[in-house]
Amino acid sequence: MAADNSQHKRPVRSYVIRSGRLTDSQRKALDTHWDAHVVEFKNHSLDLDKLFPQSGSISLEIGIGMGASLLAMAQQEPNTNFLGIEVHKPGIGKVLHEIESIGLNNLKLICHDAKEVIETGIANQSIDRLLILFPDPWPKKRHHKRRLVQPQFVELLASKLKQEGVLHLATDWEPYAEHMMEVLEANPSLKNEMGTGKYWEQPQRPATKFEARGKRLGHGVWDLLFTKTA
Ligand SMILES: C[S@@+](CC[C@H](N)C(=O)[O-])C[C@H]1O[C@@H](n2cnc3c(N)ncnc32)[C@H](O)[C@@H]1O
């Protein structure tokens, strides 16, 4: 008789932990500044208002990579509080280094799987803006299940947004852009700010590292901007 492994199925992850080397500055920042700016997540509910010294609207970015866009936004919008989620340690180290050298007090990080953080850590209707910029496109068909943007996850994301809160996605991979559009437009609590089926042609957001890579490879860029309506 075949063994029943259903209890032990590993979750499908949207990332692979790369063994990327840390630079000296990233390692030092991880050692020195972790406690000050990284929120430890232990499958508990987070009190977002208590994370930041000043109250303000909350923007949450999933998969910050090396954090270029998050750092730029946190500087441009000092009255907004930013939370960045990333599993990749070099990116966390890089952002910690910059938080200290710039002197930012409106940016915190979580180094954990964003799906778990969003599910158990974030209260419903608590986020003003959610960003997922250039998530791993997982272009091979057999890997599509690893893509972050899926109906169930988008439903979860929508539940975390405040009324009129925004969901901003971007990708440099056209088939993923089409998939994102399909998934977001099928969600009854989200509305495409650009009009049905339309992308955000002139998005207001800083450039990202992965976007620059895509451009070097000749890829296009597709941004999607939806608001929570119900
Ligand atoms: C393609 S990179 C893009 C990074 C950045 N947004 C940019 O545009 O340069 C996607 C990032 O998302 C992170 N990521 C993927 N799935 C994640 C998850 N479930 N939780 C946290 N981070 C995740 C990866 O580690 C990776 O750094």
Write the DSSP symbol of residue 119: I
Q: What is the pTM of this model?
A: 0.95
In tens, the pLDDT along 103-113 reads 999 999 999 99
In tens, the pLDDT along 11-21 reads 899 999 877 78
pLDDT at 49: 87
Give the burial string for 16-32 (b: 16+ CB within 10 Å, else e).
eeeeeeeeeebeebbee
Mutate to test the pocket of ligand 1, among 14, 59, 154 (most ligand atoms within 8 A of CB): 14
d(CA 37, CA 33): 6
In the chain, where the domains are located: 26-228
Closest atom, ligand 1, to C-alpha of 13: 19
At 1, the pLDDT band (50, 70, 90 cuts) reads very low
- Other beta carbons within 10 angstroms of residue 2's beta carbon come to 4
d(CA 135, CA 111): 16
- Rounded to the nearest 10 degrees, the angle between the axes of helix 151-160 and helix 174-185 is 60
Active site amino acids: 136
- Rounded to the nearest 10 degrees, the angle between the axes of helix 89-102 and helix 24-37 is 70
Q: How far is the CA of 187 from the centre of ligand 1 (A)?
A: 23
Q: Please check whether the domain covering 26-228 is classified as CATH 3.40.50.150.
A: yes
At 5, the pLDDT band (50, 70, 90 cuts) reads low
In tens, the pLDDT along 101-141 reads 999 999 999 999 999 999 999 999 999 999 999 999 999 99
The per-residue DSSP string of 121-155 comes to: IS-TT-EEEEEEES-----SGGGGGG-S--HHHHH
pLDDT at 9: 76
